[in-house]
């Protein structure tokens, strides 16, 4: 299984979209500061994820969310209540 996920910093107004085959491991890496891109924004909570059988489909979706501002805005609108709350899932 492959995952496209959205995490939000608990202390800063910052969100990140990523792709992984091991959501729990990747989420922990973000929170431990092992990911250069997100290191300065930790800790995080998991806001949203999508699961895919196909790695290619997951990669295409991640790219779509990162490059197409409109798609990212649609997703942010869909999860707006979760983005505004730190009571969202702390772990996958």
Q: pLDDT tens-digit profile of 21-38?
A: 999 999 999 999 999 999
Beta bridge pairs of residue 2 = 52
* pLDDT category of residue 92 using cuts at 50, 70 and 90: low
* CATH architecture designation of domain 2-83: 3-Layer(aba) Sandwich (3.40)
Domain boundaries along the sequence of the chain: 2-83
DSSP code of 33? T
- Residue 85's SS3 state is coil
Beta bridge pairs of residue 4 = 19, 50
Residue 2 to residue 87: CA distance in whole angstroms: 25
pLDDT for res 69 = 82
């Amino acid at each position: 299984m492959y995952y496209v996920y959205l995490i939000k910093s608990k202390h800063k107004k910052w969100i990140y979209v990523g792709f992984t085959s091991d959501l729990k491991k990747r989420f922990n890496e973000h929170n431990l500061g092992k990911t250069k891109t997100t290191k300065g924004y930790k800790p995080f909570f998991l806001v949203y994820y999508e699961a895919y059988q196909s790695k290619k489909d997951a990669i295409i979706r991640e790219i779509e969310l990162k490059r197409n501002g409109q798609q990212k805005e649609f997703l942010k609108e869909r999860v707006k209540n979760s983005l505004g709350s730190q009571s969202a899932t702390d772990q996958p």
